[in-house]
Structure 1
Amino acid sequence: MNAHAASSVPAPTDPLEHHLEEFVPGDDLVAYLDGNSLGRPLRVTTESVPRFVRESWGGRLIRGWDEGWLTHAEELGDRIGAACLGAAPGQTIVADSTSVLIFKLLRAAIDARPGRDELIIMRDEFPTDRFIVERLAEEHGLTIRWIDAPPDAGVTPALVAEHASAKTIAALISGVAYRSGWWADMAAVTEVVQAHGALMIWDCSHAVGSVPLELDAWGVDMAVGCSYKYLNGGPGAPAWGYVAARHQDQLRNPIPGWLGAREPFAMTTEFSPAPGIRRLVSGTPPIFAMLPLADMVSLIERAGLAAIRAKSVALTSYAIALIDNSVPDARLATPRDPERRGGHITIDHPHARRAVEQLWGEGVIPDFRHPSGVRIGLSPLSTSFTEVEHGVRALAKALGTVS
């Protein structure tokens, strides 16, 4: 194993290099290779947050609700929809956590498809998604149809076709698989599910901000995603939910709350849902927590998702070439085809856990994924090719020295 072989792979040019300085640098970091778990904060956020405390919160106090806060979740949702999701206005809103929104959408899907009793999900889907499906299946007497896929790939239309039927309520699948980085053919999978009269719900947590999504054009029914990965909203940032306009009048929110009501300040005794996407809301919108997310959406709007995706492909291709050269005994657990690859890659190696522990102490931050995976998340706007080269060189050395 030659840890210096990484330098023999030429780095691509970086047309987005000028954006690197817009992010807060980490202390003592050599390479941050975990941007798909938690994105770096923007420098502008170190100004926008205290300014909000001084001026909007401190200065306006409760008057802020009447001066824009109440509609901020819908407005920011529309911006996310336009910049990242291919979604027309009025279909996306910022609210809750990813887990809560997944529960809401799945539970609403069960109500929307009476007489059906099956849910579809991947066997190696992200744990939260599986846990919620299992609990809802248990409580409603439903059958789970588990899809198995190769560990270095993911869901395909053919695999879904083997499990979908007239009994299917909905399929819940990640657009980009959290471990392998497999980017599903979301349009084709959606078509297969809907051909049986079922609903397609996409978890876009590892897709939003890294791959171009066209939820409207693909006919997607519902989608959800977190905002602390490629949307750089910060730890515990609120998630976003998408519901196609054609479904909104029938959407029954399983957690009705006052701000999801038609007239929230009327304080009525009976719940009447708000029109449009706001009926998905339950409680008070997380105004303060939306500030970093709004800053990042502004940067995505300026850079453009097409350019972001182009750099993402270049970054992951470069990382794969470096790993092929310097870690030949690792197994790539990610598609080599960039058309099927999201913004992160995973390699499997028997020394993965120990190597990641060692690397964190050296200022190189990849991610460990059970049982033997090193996951390298490359956020295009904040990750340099030099950082990738330094990180892979350190990874090659660590894998060769731990036992």
Structure 2
Amino acid sequence: MTREDARALDAADPLARFRDRFALPNGIIYLDGNSLGALPRAVPAAIADATTRQWGDRLIRSWNEGWIDAPERLGAKIAPIIGAAADEVIVGDTTSTHLFKAIVAALRHDPARRTVLSEAGNFPTDLHIAEGAVACVPGARLKVVDRAALADALDDDTALLLLTHVHYKTSDRFDLAAWTARAHAAGALVLWDFSHSVGAIPLDVTAANADLAVGCSYKYLNGGPGAPAFLYVARRHQEAFANPVSGWMGHAEPFAFQDGYRPAAGMKRWLVGTPSILAMASLEAALDLWTDIDMAALTAKSAALFDILAAAGALAGLACVSPADAASRGSHISFRAPHAYELTQALIARGVIGDFRDPDILRLGLTPLYLSHEDVWQAGEHLRAIVASEAWRAPEFGERNTVT
């Protein structure tokens, strides 16, 4: 592909109009939106309103003017992005907290089944949380196997299959409907982690008959660093599952101030403490972008951006570890190289921000809402030049003292 080819694709891009809705630094090609999304231009004004008018002028009255309903309201805005009903998603807490609540609830739902099954190499926090969760349920255990062994490991003791939909390193994607059906055939529930999926690829939990899902909102949803996470519980499970972290916001009457706990109906029972309103304001402004985004166009552009970088990586002699089939991956591309860390730092020095995943993965995020085809083409040219000139060998690129 030439620069002119990339510009021609941009001229025909139905998503090009969204680029101006983000505050993107000049001279930077941002390929790390799969880790922290870029700043939507609407967010600073939303936060300013939440602080100056809502908090500053309205003070505590703002709890009755939209604050208390934020977890449900934002959940309803995320619901269509994952193919759920508005009353099946709640926003608040962190992904890790939601994972813990969902794992313990699933184990307690059917005491005859004691095993949480997951994949070796899953995102570490999912396994860390699962370790802690099974310790809270007598007789429960965590079983971790290689991806190829997951199907055979499902048995009549499996209470919950815990899977990250898109792998954080390789971009490998599980078939949502097929694996949900496989778990159900074994009598197990499935808990999906959509952190590297939501806002990147089409999701339909209703069509897949999914049970439970969690996800963060600071990657492709651009909610801001540490933005509140979401929890999905299929309506058919809501009254039968109990939140193990029984905080006051999940109480049926939180302002009755009763000593005993009675869970609220529906998704409100999954709330715990007071919602973080300033973080909610940032996320809500970011979510408002999604009201008119065509997911089919987003998926097609993601595939086109992937192909541009895959070709550049191949010309540079790098091994791509992400699936070639667009339906089998998320929206990032990963290359394996013994000097991947140095390559990452050399790219950053040229204004191309990607990230490194230990021990040997260069990971580049493809966010169709604000990346142009020309951006990605230029990033590929930088990658080829760095490899060809061995610029990554510069001593300063080997100092491992940065996050990315």
TM, length-normalised to structure 2: 0.92
Shift of 1:93: 0.6
Q: Which residue number in structure 2 is paired with residue 227 of structure 1?
A: 217
Distance between the aligned counterparts of 1:204 and 1:9, measured in 2? 36
Secondary structure of 1:311's match?
helix
Secondary structure of 1:90's match?
helix
Deviations 1:73-108 (A, max 9, x none): 1011011102x1100121101010111111110011
Deviations 1:186-237 (A, max 9, x none): 1000011111221100000000001111111111100000000000011110
Quick one: which of 114, 127, 141 aligns to 1:143?
141
Quick one: which of 237, 253, 278 aligns to 1:263?
253
Secondary structure of 1:375's match?
strand
Q: Which residue number in structure 1 is paired with residue 109 of structure 2?
A: 112
- Determine which structure has greater relative contact order: mean sequence separation of CA pairs < 8 Å that are 6+ residues apart, divided by chain length: 1
Shift of 1:28: 4.3
The amino acid of 2:264's aligned partner reads A
Does 1:372 find its partner at 2:360?
yes
Quick one: which of 87, 96, 99 aligns to 1:99?
96
1:41 touches 1:292 (CA, 8 Å); kept in 2?
no
Deviations 1:32-51 (A, max 9, x none): 11110000011111222112
Q: Which residue number in structure 1 is paired with residue 5 of structure 2?
A: 10
Distance between the aligned counterparts of 2:164 and 2:70, measured in 1? 27
Q: Which residue number in structure 2 is paired with residue 275 of structure 1?
A: 265
Does 1:290 find its partner at 2:280?
yes
Distance between the aligned counterparts of 2:79 and 2:140, measured in 1? 32
Alignment of 1:160-309 (within 5 A): 160-309=150-299
Secondary structure of 1:70's match?
coil
Shift of 1:53: 1.7
2:335 touches 2:362 (CA, 8 Å); kept in 1?
yes
Q: Which stretch of structure 1 is more off in the superposition, 231-240 or 13-22? A: 13-22
Quick one: which of 312, 330, 334 aligns to 1:322?
312
1:171 touches 1:198 (CA, 8 Å); kept in 2?
yes
2:308 touches 2:380 (CA, 8 Å); kept in 1?
no
List runs of 5+ in structure 2 lacking aligned partners.
Answer: 394-404
Q: Which stretch of structure 1 is more off in the superposition, 53-62 or 100-109? A: 53-62
1:308 touches 1:381 (CA, 8 Å); kept in 2?
yes
The amino acid of 1:209's aligned partner reads G
Shift of 1:184: 1.1
Q: Which residue number in structure 2 is paired with residue 35 of structure 1?
A: 33
Distance between the aligned counterparts of 2:234 and 2:109, measured in 1? 14
Q: Which residue number in structure 2 is paired with residue 128 of structure 1?
A: 125
Secondary structure of 1:379's match?
coil
Alignment of 1:52-63 (within 5 A): 52-63=50-61
Distance between the aligned counterparts of 1:245 and 1:111, measured in 2? 18
2:246 touches 2:272 (CA, 8 Å); kept in 1?
yes
Does 1:76 find its partner at 2:74?
yes
Secondary structure of 2:374's match?
helix
Shift of 1:247: 0.8
Distance between the aligned counterparts of 1:105 and 1:138, measured in 2? 14
Shift of 1:9: 9.2
Deviations 1:249-297 (A, max 9, x none): 1221111111100000000010000000010000011221022221222
Shift of 1:300: 1.6
Does 1:338 find its partner at 2:326?
yes
Q: Which residue number in structure 1 is paired with residue 396 of structure 2?
A: none
Residues paired across the two proteins, number: 386
Once the two structures are aligned, what percentage of the paired residues are identical? 39
Q: Which residue number in structure 2 is paired with residue 3 of structure 1?
A: none
Shift of 1:161: 2.3
1:255 touches 1:282 (CA, 8 Å); kept in 2?
yes
Distance between the aligned counterparts of 1:27 and 1:285, measured in 2? 35
Shift of 1:141: 3.9
RMSD: 1.6
Deviations 1:311-339 (A, max 9, x none): 212211222122223x1x21111000011
Distance between the aligned counterparts of 2:259 and 2:44, measured in 1? 43
Shift of 1:138: 4.3
List runs of 5+ in structure 1 lacking aligned partners.
Answer: 1-5, 150-154
2:118 touches 2:150 (CA, 8 Å); kept in 1?
no
Secondary structure of 1:380's match?
coil
Distance between the aligned counterparts of 1:28 and 1:57, measured in 2? 36
